[in-house]
Chain A
Amino acid sequence: MNKAETNKPKVVKPKKGDNGGSTGSSFDNVELFLLHLPTTIWYIVFCYAPIFGIIIAFKNFTVAPGRNFLYSLFINSPFTGLQNFRFLFNSSFFSTMIRNTLVYNIIFIILGVIIPVTLAIMINQLYSKRLAKVCQTMMFLPHFLSWVVIGYFVYAFLATDAGLFNRVFVALGVGEPKHDWYGDVPFWRWFLVFLNQWKGMGYGMVVYLASISGIDGELYEAALIDGASKWKQTRYITIPLLRPIMSIMLILAIGSIFRSDFGLFYQATRDSGRLTSLTETIDVHVFKALLVVPNINISSSTSLLQSVCGCIMIVLSNVAVKRIDPDAGLF
C-alpha cells in the first residue's frame, strides 16, 4: 500500500509538524480535514453504515408496524445466530446459485484476459492505422451502453414474432417457425458468454493496447537483429511486459468472482422464467429476495456471504499474484 508513496521522488520533505512555510501545520491539517469532511460523511453514511448493517443477517428481521426501521431491527428482531445461513445452505436454490455465479465468472475471467490481449496484439499489427482506429472506436461502443439498451438490441434479434432471427430462418426455410428464444436454455448457456465478451471486448482491448503502445520499439529492433520471428517477439517481449497490467486486471476480476453481473443475467434475459436454471445467480437472487418476493433473512444472509467471500478472494488473489511477481500486487 505504501510502495507507491515511497517510490515517489521526494522533492521538499520537511519533517512532520513543520511545513516549511509561515503557516502552522495544525492549520493545514484542520483545513485539509474540513476540505474532505463531506466525502468523509458520505463514506460513513453510504459505506460504513451498511457494513454495520450486516447484523440484519444474524437476526430474524420482523417489521414492527408503525415503528421505524431501526426500532424493528434492534428491538423487534430477535438474534438468531447462524440460523439464516443454515436455512440458506439447506435451500434448494443455493447450489444452483453458487454454481452459476462461479462457473460463469470463471469463464468470463479466462476469456476476458485471453480475447482482449490477443485482439490488442493483433490490432497493433494492422498496417492501416486508420482502419485500426475506426475498428477500435466501433468495438468500444458496447462498453458505453447500459444493459437495458443492450436488452433491447437482443430483443430485436430474438423476439418470437418480429425478431430478425426467426424471420430470417423462416425466409431460409430452416429451423422451426416462431422459435421461443427466451426459453431456449442451450442457446442462452453460450449466448450469455457471448454477450459478456461482446460488451467487454473493446474496453479490455483498449486497456492492453495502451500498455502495448508504451513498450519501447527498440526492444523489437534488438529482437529482430537476434533473428526473432514475430511470434517469438510477441511471446518473449510483448506478453511479459503486459504481465503487470494483466495481473491487476486479474485481481480485480477474481475479487469480484462472487459478484454476478445483474444487468446481464436479469435485464438482458428479460427475467425470462424458463431461463432461471442459468440466470439464478447471487445478485439476481438477492435482488428478488429483497424486492420481488421479499425475504429479508435470505437476501441479507446471501448478501453478507457474498461480501465475505469477495473480500477473501481479493486478498488471496493479491497474495498469489505478489508471489509470482512482487511488483504486480494491487496493495
Chain B
Amino acid sequence: MSVTSKTVATRKTKHVDAVLKYTRVSPASNVAFSAIFIILALLCFLPALLVAIVSLSSEHSVVTKGYSYIPMSWSVASYAYLLKQGSYIGHAFINSLGVTVVGTVIGLVLCSTMGYALSRPNYRLRGFFTWFIFIPMLFSGGLVASYMINAQVLGLKNTYWALILPICCSSFYIIIMRTFFQTSVPDAIIESAKIDGARQIRIFLQIVLPISLPAIATIGLFYTFAYWNDWMMAKYYLDSNHQTLFPMQYVLISLENNIDFLTRNPQATAPGESNNLPSETVRMAMVIVSVLPIACSYPFFQRYFISGLTIGAVKG
C-alpha cells in the first residue's frame, strides 16, 4: 500500500512539474533574469576579490598602479609580514576566536534554558517570564544607560567580558528556541521521563538537548558569526592602550587611521625595520585573514541560516 501511495505521489509531483513547465517565464525573460542575477552576484563578490588581489600584489604595484584587479606583479610579502608579526596578529586572532567560542557557549546556555522553561505548558511562571523577555524587545534603556551600567557599575571596561556579556543573550533567539521545543519535542517523551523519576534539569540535558541539535546548531551559528564580526563592543569598551585585548575587527579599525599602529606597537617590529612595512597590502591582507574563515564556511552553513529564519516564524 505504501508503494502505491508513493507511486501516486511521484506521478503527482511529475505531473505538477510538467504543468509548471508551462507556467515558466518565456526563454527571453529567462535570459534577462539570468543576466541580472549574474551581474548582482558579481557585484557582491568582486569587491572581496579586489581586496584579495591587492593583498597578493607587490607593494611596488600598489604604489604605482593603485588598487587594481590586474597587478603588475604578485607577492606574498604582506602575508609573510603578518606571519613574522605572528605574536601580535596571532594574539588578535586568538582573541577573536576565544571571544567567539566562549560567547557562543554562554549564549547557547542562556537561550536554551530560558527557551525550554518557557516551552513547558505547566510552568507556573511562564506567562510572567514570556513578558519578561518580550518587554526588552520593545523598549531598551538605550546606549548611554547600557554603557554607564556596563562600564561604570559592572566595571567591564577593558576586559574580555565587555566583548562577550553585553550581547550574549537575545529575546529573538529565546523565542526561536521556545517555538522549536514546543513544536519538535513531543510532550509524551518528557512526561514519560518524568514518570521514570527524572528531574527537569536531567530531562533538559539528557533528552531535550540531544533531540534539539538542529536548533542548537542554528542558533550557535548565529552567535558564532555575530561574535566574529562584532566590533562595536570593542569600540565602546576598549581603550587604545589595551592592545592585548583587541579582537581582529578592532585591529582593522585601528589600522584604518594609521598603519603606524603596527609599527608603534613595540612587539610588532624591531626598531629601524618599519621602512620595510608593505603598508598598503598588509592592511588588505589583514582584512582577508579576518574574512577568510567566514567566506569559506558560510556556503556550507547557509542552509542552517535559511532554516533558522523559518524555524517557527519569530512570533511572540
Which chain A residues have a beta carbon within 8 Å of chain B's beta carbons? 1, 3-4, 8, 11-14, 16, 19-23, 25, 27-29, 31-36, 38-40, 42-43, 45-54, 56-57, 68-70, 73, 119, 122-123, 125-128, 131-132, 134-135, 137-142, 144-149, 151-157, 159, 161-164, 166-167, 198, 201-202, 206-207, 210-211, 214, 217-218, 220-221, 223-224, 230, 233, 245, 248, 262-263, 267, 270, 283, 286-287, 290-291, 296, 299-300, 303-304, 306-308, 310-311, 314-315, 330-331
Contact = CB atoms under 8 A, between A and B. Distances in A.
Given A148-B231, A314-B138, A140 B298 contact: yes
Contacts of B123: 28-29, 32
8 contacts: A1-B131, A20-B191, A57-B144, A135-B37, A144-B229, A263-B232, A307-B140, A331-B316
At the interface, is chain B mostly helix, strand, loop or mixed? helix
Contact of A68 (B29, B145, B152): B152
Interface in B7-51: 16, 19-20, 22-25, 27, 29-30, 33-34, 36-38, 40-45, 47-48, 50-51
B144 A166 contact: no
Given A22-B195, A139-B44, A35 B200 contact: yes
Nearest to A283: B143
B294 A144 contact: yes
Contacts of B23: 220-221, 223-224, 230, 233
Contacts of B168: 42
A56 B117 CA distance: 35
Nearest to A301: B144
Given A35-B113, A286-B143, A152 B284 contact: yes
Contact of A43 (B118, B124, B132, B144): B132
Interface of B: 16, 19-20, 22-25, 27, 29-30, 33-34, 36-38, 40-45, 47-48, 50-51, 54, 62-63, 65-69, 109-111, 113-114, 116-118, 120-125, 129-134, 136, 138-150, 152-154, 165-166, 168-169, 174, 179, 182-183, 186-188, 191, 194-195, 197, 199-201, 204, 225, 229-232, 236, 249, 252-253, 256, 280, 283-284, 287, 290-291, 294-295, 298-299, 302, 305-306, 309-310, 313-316
A262 B117 CA distance: 35
Contacts of A167: 65-68
Nearest to A328: B315
Contacts of B113: 35-36, 38-39
A307 B142 contact: yes
Given A151-B256, A270-B256, A290-B147, A138 B44 contact: yes
**Of A73, A131, A144, A201, which is in contact with the most chain B CB atoms at under 10 Å from its CB?**
A144
A217 B16 contact: yes
A315 to B, nearest CB: 7
Contact of A315 (B25, B130, B138): B138
A3 B315 CA distance: 9
A139 B201 contact: no
Contact of A141 (B50, B165, B229, B295): B295
Contacts of B110: 38-39, 42
Contacts of B153: 49, 68-70
Secondary structure of the A side of the interface?
helix
Nearest to B31: A127
B122 A162 contact: no
Contacts of B305: 206
Nearest to A53: B145
A164 B315 contact: no
Contacts of B122: 14, 16, 19, 25, 28
A97 to B, nearest CB: 14
Contacts of B50: 153, 156-157, 164
Nearest to A298: B144
Contact of B140 (A3, A35, A51): A51
A28 B114 CA distance: 14
A146 B37 contact: no
A287 B284 CA distance: 27
A144 B225 contact: yes
A119 B33 CA distance: 9
Which of A43, A128, A210 lies at the interface centre, i.e. has the most chain B CB atoms within 10 A of its CB? A43
A54 B168 CA distance: 22
B54 A156 contact: yes
A296 B193 CA distance: 55
B19 A221 contact: yes
B119 to A, nearest CB: 10
A220 B41 contact: no
Given A22-B197, A138-B44, A221-B23, 8 more contacts: A14-B122, A23-B194, A43-B169, A57-B144, A137-B302, A210-B306, A290-B147, A291-B236
A147 B229 CA distance: 9
B38 to A, nearest CB: 7
B139 A311 contact: yes
Contacts of B249: 146, 148-149
B45 A45 contact: no
Contacts of B313: 245, 248
Contact of A146 (B47, B114, B194, B231): B231
Of A28, A134, A148, A283, the most chain B CB neighbours within 10 A belong to: A148
